[in-house]
Amino acid sequence: MKCLGKHRGWAAAFLPLCWLFLKILQPGHSHLYNNCYAGDKVIRFIPKTEEEVYALKKISHQLKVDLWQPSSISYVSEGTVTDVHIPQNGSRALLAFLQEANIQYKILIEDLQKTLEKGSNLQTQRNRRSLSGYNYEVYHSLEEIQNWMHHLNKTHSDLIHMFSIGRSYEGRSLFILKLGRRSRLKRAVWIDCGIHAREWIGPAFCQWFVKEALLTRKSDPAMRKMLNHLYFYIMPVFNVDGYHFSWTNDRFWRKTRSRNSRFRCRGVDANRNWKVKWCDEGASMHPCDDTYCGPFPESEPEVKAVANFLRKHRKHIRAYLSFHAYAQMLLYPYSYKYATIPNFSCVESAAYKAVNALQSVYGVRYRYGPASTTLYVSSGSSMDWAYKNGIPYAFAFELRDTGHFGFLLPEMLIKPTCTETMLAVKNITMHLLKKCP
């Protein structure tokens, strides 16, 4: 039996049955998804002509592929690197079509289930639940992350204050860590991870950032200065419902988990739900699409809670950093239009220095620039909203890799990814302290 949780359309109605099946057969091992992805493939193609673009869009709709890159089929044009996850029963048809049409392709992942199982590396389980020896080089469930946050709140009360800014659609607390030495009228940096559920490297970085801050604050003058002069508001998991769902039912779930009164499809793209050119180019009005913008701006309680918090504190918050995957990019506004931001030179300089610092560690190259030209045009994003609401430094990171592993970045790459990203974030933060008014 295939797990129905990974299907985005009509099959979503049967998710409760699938979940019951999972719980009965594999208690404690739901992260292996009950063989849900056996034989599934991830295939990359780059259309070279308008005819190929049209043909690929048509076959993708027919086969209902799970698009990994870009986030919407509407973004596919000549030269667009396109990665699709196709179930076993559709992969033969897709490959036959590509061969018949003489469209070049590359199979990135031959069997998704085997890759999942290889990546799970059950030996790493031994350190997951010991908070004193918390393992930052494995992926953690939502429960583990929130227990870790509670633990730090108790053991590092001089530097960390944990609080909730609201509840998710399914009633989970939206926890924030406030990090920094206590003083009045300090400027602040907001960091969020996991706005898209399947991008697990994001929450891993947020945890890594906190760990590094606590470990190096005495030995590293730059970190000491950052914590003395700034507060960091860190949200390790923005999309708590979706992230939990990606651990229990569908590893490749992207959206929130809100219900729609007219459709059985669930969830909204939390990075298309902000009140900045809402539901314009790059967002979908259809609830079954991965880029669904929602019924209205800030319809998602998670988005509403963060927007309210940022509005309340925008006089002090001088930088907004959001962590995504995958593409290896550092993006800044605008995302919703082709235009130059007023403080372009300052932001561009910060981005340039950040990607150079990142590259200095392992030689990993990041592209950087305005999101609209570097990635694609998308409306209703958190980054654009933050910038339009007075936060002068707004960035979105697309972390490793460029598609070899995609959303299944192995745990062995958590440390190098976070180590290099840490340098980029410190660079932006120091730039902020020196330059930003």
CATH number at residue 66: 3.30.70.340
Is the pLDDT confidence value at 29 over 70? no
Mean pLDDT, range 74-101, rounded to an integer: 94
Instruction: Give pLDDT, residue 128.
Output: 56
342 and 240, same domain (yes or no): yes
Query: How do residues 343-382 score in pLDDT, each as one tens digit?
Result: 999 999 999 999 999 999 999 999 999 999 999 999 999 9
What residues does 107 pair with on adjacent strands?
43
Which residue matches tokens 């960390």? 160
Residue 100, in any domain of the structure:
yes
pLDDT at residue 106, as a whole number: 96
pLDDT class of 130 with cuts at 50, 70, 90: low
Asked if residue 421 has pLDDT above 80, the reply is: yes
- Whether 129 shows a pLDDT value over 80: the answer reads no
Q: Would you say residue 16 has pLDDT above 90?
A: no
Does residue 68 carry a pLDDT above 60? yes
Decide if pLDDT at 239 tops 80: yes
Annotate 332-367 with DSSP letters as a single string: ES-SSSS---TTHHHHHHHHHHHHHHHHHHH----E
- The per-residue pLDDT for 184 is 76
**pLDDT over 80 at 436, yes or no:** no
| Domain count of the fold of the chain | 2
* Whether residue 123 has pLDDT greater than 70: no
User: Are residue 62 and residue 147 in the same domain, yes or no?
Assistant: no
Amino acid symbol at 402: T
Model confidence at 46: pLDDT above 70: yes
More confident residue, 419 or 183: 419
Mean pLDDT across the chain, nearest whole number? 90
3-state secondary structure of 281: coil
Considering the domain architecture, whether residues 353 and 408 belong to the same structural domain is answered as yes
Q: Does residue 414 share a domain with residue 283?
A: yes
Look up tokens 């000549």; give the residue. Answer: 78
Q: Quick check: is 61 in a domain? A: yes
Query: pLDDT for 160-202, tens place per residue?
Result: 999 999 999 999 999 999 999 988 778 999 999 999 999 999 9
pLDDT of residue 131: 58
279 and 395 part of one domain: yes
Terminal Cα distance for the chain, rounded: 59
CATH number, domain at 201? Answer: 3.40.630.10
Domain membership of residue 278 (yes or no) is yes
State which of 114, 146, 169 marks the end of a domain. 114
Q: How many CB atoms lie within 10 A of CB 405?
A: 19
Quote the domain boundaries for residue 261.
136-433
In a domain, 119, yes or no: no
Residues 49 and 142 in one domain: no
The domain boundary residue, chosen from 49, 80, 114: 114
Do 79 and 224 share a domain, yes or no? no
- Considering only 4-18, 246-260, 390-404, 415-429, which range has the smallest mean pLDDT? 4-18
Which amino acids are annotated catalytic? Answer: 398
Higher pLDDT among residues 300 and 127, named by residue = 300
Same domain, 214 and 68: no
Structural domain contains residue 206: yes
